[in-house]
Homo-oligomer: A and B are copies of this chain.
Amino acid sequence: MSTSHSDCLHCSMRERSIFAGLSNEDLCQLGMDVHDIHIRTGTVIYHEGDTASYAYTLRQGGIKLVKNLANGHAQIVRLLRHGDLFGFEGLRNDRHRHTAIALSDTDLCRLELHALDQLSQRLPAVREAIFARWQQALQDAEDRIVELGSKKADARLATFLVQWCSAYPAQREAPFPLTRQDLGEFLGLSTEHVSRIMAEFKRQGLLHEHKNQLEVRDPRKLLTYACGEGNAC
């Protein structure tokens, strides 16, 4: 893991981050240490239960937020993408609620939590930005409850793949960072079952995989899988 002080003024994420809309002046006066962090695939950023001292913005790469159960199972609670804020568990929460693990080589931006807290009190724009992200996170979580609670394995997987690939449109460069096991832990399925369904999708020509590149060939048909016969969802 390598670390260096960040130059927020020229950050490529600036307008996607929670500091979007701030003036250069405000940005210079953030009053906190902001660090760039580069980590490798598999690195654990923090553990569930750890005291939370930092929040992070995902600049490049992928992160999974995982909860481990007493029964040995692991559940991926959230997958993060470019621009997402994480590690910020709420105003009064001082412990991380998940374990955060890099899915690929990843660049982060690290913010001090207590400074961020003060900042959000001082600058309404920052507060609103954080609030908006929480709102989105809640909405996503509720959508996932619906997926897990009322769809079958193939439908869940189909929905996920279509959403994934529409979020990362046609970028051949980015290899698919999730293992079959990751997919299983995200969708509540066994690794083997995921593998079988993927194979079936490939057999039907809905999906193509080469090296680490995953390509959705027929999003429309995949979606009918996801929602029953011919329904939009």
- Give the B-binding residues of A (Cβ under 8 A): 67, 69-75, 77-78, 90-93, 97-98, 128, 131-132, 134-135, 137-139, 141-142, 144-146, 148-151, 185-188, 227-228, 231-233
Contacts and interface: CB of A to CB of B under 8 A. Distances in A.
Given A138-B138, A227-B70, A144 B145 contact: yes
A73 B232 CA distance: 15
Given A91-B128, A144-B145, 18 more contacts: A70-B228, A71-B150, A77-B146, A78-B142, A90-B139, A91-B131, A91-B135, A93-B135, A97-B139, A98-B142, A131-B131, A134-B135, A134-B138, A137-B138, A141-B141, A145-B148, A149-B186, A149-B188
Contact of A149 (B75, B134, B137, B233): B75
Contacts of A227: 69-71
B150 A188 contact: yes
Contacts of A93: 135
A134 B136 CA distance: 11
A115 B43 CA distance: 46
Contacts of A97: 139, 142
A185 B149 CA distance: 8
Given A97-B142, A144-B145, A145-B148, A231 B75 contact: no
Contacts of A188: 148-150
Contacts of A131: 91, 131, 134
Contacts of A98: 142
B70 A231 contact: yes
Contacts of A186: 149
A57 B185 CA distance: 36
B148 A149 contact: yes
B141 A233 contact: no
